[in-house]
Structure 1
Amino acid sequence: MKIGAIDLGTNSVRLLVAEPKEGQLNRLATELRVPRLGEDIHQTGFLKQEAIKRTTKVLQEYKQIIDRLDATPYVIATSAVRDARNKNEFITAVRRGLGLDVRSIAGEEEARLSYLGITSGLDNLSSKALAIDIGGGSTEFMWGKKQGIVEYKSLNLGAVRLTDSYGDNLKEIEKEVKAKLESRINDTYSQLVGVGGTITTLAAINYSLESYDREIIHESILSQEEIREILKKLSSLTLEKRKEVRGLSPDRADIIIPGIVILLEVMNKSNIAQIVVSETGILEGMIYDKVDKF
């Protein structure tokens, strides 16, 4: 069974078309676009018409890919859509215009699917692992082991949300992150695993990749010292200069700093000096979840 999984995030819209075979995924197509559906939503409470148009265009492209590969579409929407006052209008418009059923999922369900994807791609997962997925509008925290998730939480703390609120004001971003994470994380974990654009981008920057390579990124290790050096470098650059940094996609240059601040605070609170980077996450989790229900 071929499945076309689409993750409608606050910043990016990603596609994975794959077919599960013998416990592995045969990857047929992967795409990523950055229409920033959640632009200004944390100030206005509404999805902007311009952002909806950009996102609908991306979904139309993805639908064509899914149809060409004769796959079954499975579309979820996370923080931006679930927070939007006009989410029902958006979901209805996508269904009528493209024939795609969009599921707006709660943060806890987002965490569950992310963890399912992470465990499908990592062999050496500790029995006391903390996994994090730093998104545009929210951050998911997942505690568990290889056999399954034990606990999960979702916080309205994301890279786009912080950028919309504080711009490049690093001190205010750090203050907000510290306040949101107070008493949320402890030091009882032996391993930290990270998934999502902020963390995979940090790995790409660390390796100075001219083009993204998932084989290099997956299961790579980032130390807290390396991450701090990257933050120091990026925060000293103008936005235009930031866009020239190897490994950093230009359309992520304005939101990367808040994402790094969130990660560093999690590392501080958990007292873990390094993070394992996972290239598998919610898209893979969606596919395995769909297959299990058939």
Structure 2
Amino acid sequence: MNVTQDPAAAKTDWGPFGRPIFDDPGARALSRVGVVDVGSNSVRLVVFDGAARSPAYFYNEKIMCALGAGLSESGRLNPEGRVRALSALRRFQHLAKGMGLPPLSAVATAAVRDASDGPEFCAEVLRETGLKVHVIDGREEARLSAQGVLLGWPGAYGLVCDIGGSSMELAEIQENTVGRRLTSSLGPLKLRDIKGGRKGRKAHIKEVIEQLKGEMGPQRDRLFLVGGSWRAIARIDMHRRGYPLKVLHEYRMSARDVRETARYIETRNLDKLRDACGISSSRMSLVPYAIDVLTRLVKTFKPKDIAVSSYGIREGLLYEQMPQRLRARDPLIEASRFAEAKDARVPGFGSTLYDFVIPLFSGARLAKRRLVKAACLLHDVSWRAHPDYRAEVCFDNATRANLGGLKHSERVFLGLALLHRYSNKRQGSAFEHLYALLDVKGQHEAEVLGKAMRFGAMLMLTSSGDIGSLRWQPRKRVLHAELPDAARPLCGEVAEARLRSLGKALEAEVVLTFSKPAPPSDAQ
């Protein structure tokens, strides 16, 4: 759709993009699009690409500018931060031009909206770079952050807390909609200007959060944490616990974890802790302020659990434009479909394989069946890797990839299933320390799925067609594989060995039969 030619579209507010980015509601792929987030602490460029419902990060660069440093006292943007931010935006514009991107879409948050010279800065950016910066208010920032969470967690419910350098926003989400929204001045850059030392700061934090609770009402469901300072605290929590999977998205903490990590931060050398956790010095300098906010936030709202979201404002801007048909899709399945279409040797075979293996999981809930579906779609996307490393490459990709809608235990399930797609054994892998994130039953189910895919892949010829069926009788411990007679030449000794391996994993007797095609019926 060309918005310059469509009068109805011309009246539509497309936000910072200034144009529709999801022209076709049925589209599977997203045209490459760049978003710039001018925050109080950092300026970031993200270029999205890939599956429309689950966009991947084609490019991601952050420059720490501290635009909001000293804002509480001066009322103006940090002069040095302005220079750094303008330099970063020039660079981003050049990068976008080199990538052949459409015009970048830029939003600015608390520092620019609160500073007396914010409009002057935006005018300077436009003059020097040609980039128009859209300044959003606190409630809009809260809404976009919450929508970013919904992009990664369809159907999520709870309280979203987005902390930036100069502000902190709260938004409630339920039934795929954003409810009440509030903004506050509880950003670390502003908190370090509070008088009275840490005692005065903590008293101020308590007062503000009590006011927020009074306006938001009870919020006892999940607390979603959005923002760089929260992610830094999560890294420290991982380090303290010796947590094996260094993926921040969907990382879970409890109220007790927050308390213990707060004490851990207080008793450690911050420079050594920064090095151990891979946190920048500018970000680490804000952690002592942010942890005081988080401690009080958790103590006041008492959420049932806490989850870290890597998705926020930038992803919320994409979600804003998604038609409902697209929002309703499963981001995991969409990302897997996209990967299959791009990288598999026989795109489309994943659905055939799913129909073949799903009888082994006939009583499984939807949450497990979607993992089986994703594994089948991804079963052949890593074929280019060296055979000696293919199994581990599959595991690594599944557990660390930018995939939404996946708990860490589910990442390990998917990784193990794909590992067993290429290997009978998982012992001795470089990733063995991650297996414990999945219970023993889940590990066994992943092995069964992987070995079923390993056998089914031997029958891969085209994206569609009859490859036969599996019938599993758990009480009798009998696995019946019925293949079409046309598949007989494909079922050689390697395929039979893989079938026996699957039977062994199930502790089952294996029965292999071939069905002949039905004779043609007499013409009437």
TM-score, normalised relative to structure 2: 0.51
Letter in 2 for 1:60: R
Matched, 1:193 2:221: no
1:140 deviation in Å? 0.6
Question: Equivalent residue for 2:170?
Answer: 141
Q: Determine if contact 2:232/2:284 at 8 Å carries over to the other structure.
A: no
Q: Determine if contact 2:250/2:307 at 8 Å carries over to the other structure.
A: yes
Matched, 1:7 2:37: yes
1:205 deviation in Å? 1.6
Question: Equivalent residue for 1:54?
Answer: 84
Q: Determine if contact 1:38/1:47 at 8 Å carries over to the other structure.
A: yes
Question: Equivalent residue for 2:265?
Answer: 234
Question: Equivalent residue for 1:105?
Answer: 136
Given candidates 179, 201, 205, the residue that maps to 1:177 is 205
The 2-side partners of 1:83 and 1:216 are apart by 34
The 2-side partners of 1:190 and 1:149 are apart by 14
Whose RCO is larger (CA < 8 A, sep 6+)? 1
Show CA shifts across 1:95-145 (max 9, x none).
Answer: 01011101111001111111111100124623xx11101111111101122
Given candidates 80, 95, 98, the residue that maps to 1:68 is 98
The 1-side partners of 2:271 and 2:277 are apart by 13
The 1-side partners of 2:222 and 2:312 are apart by 17
- Identify if the C-alpha distance between structure 1 residues 64 and 249 changes in structure 2 by more than 3 Å, giving closer, same or farther: same
Name the count of aligned residue pairs: 286
Question: Equivalent residue for 2:194?
Answer: 165
CA RMSD of aligned residues (A): 2.3
Letter in 1 for 2:94: Q
Question: Equivalent residue for 1:19?
Answer: 49
Show CA shifts across 1:267-290 (max 9, x none).
Answer: 111112531111111111123335
1:6 deviation in Å? 0.9
- Identify if the C-alpha distance between structure 1 residues 288 and 3 changes in structure 2 by more than 3 Å, giving closer, same or farther: farther
1:237 deviation in Å? 4.2
Matched, 1:257 2:288: yes
Which structure has greater strand proportion?
A: 1
- Larger Rg over CA atoms: 2
Identity fraction in percent: 29
Given candidates 280, 284, 292, the residue that maps to 2:311 is 280
- Please state whether the residue corresponding to 2:40 is helix, strand or coil: coil
The 1-side partners of 2:99 and 2:194 are apart by 41
Q: Which runs of 5+ in 2 are unaligned?
A: 1-30, 324-524
Q: Determine if contact 1:205/1:247 at 8 Å carries over to the other structure.
A: no
The 2-side partners of 1:207 and 1:215 are apart by 8
Q: Which runs of 5+ in 1 are unaligned?
A: none
Letter in 1 for 2:42: S
Q: How does 1:84-123 map to 2 (within 5 A)?
A: 84-123=115-154
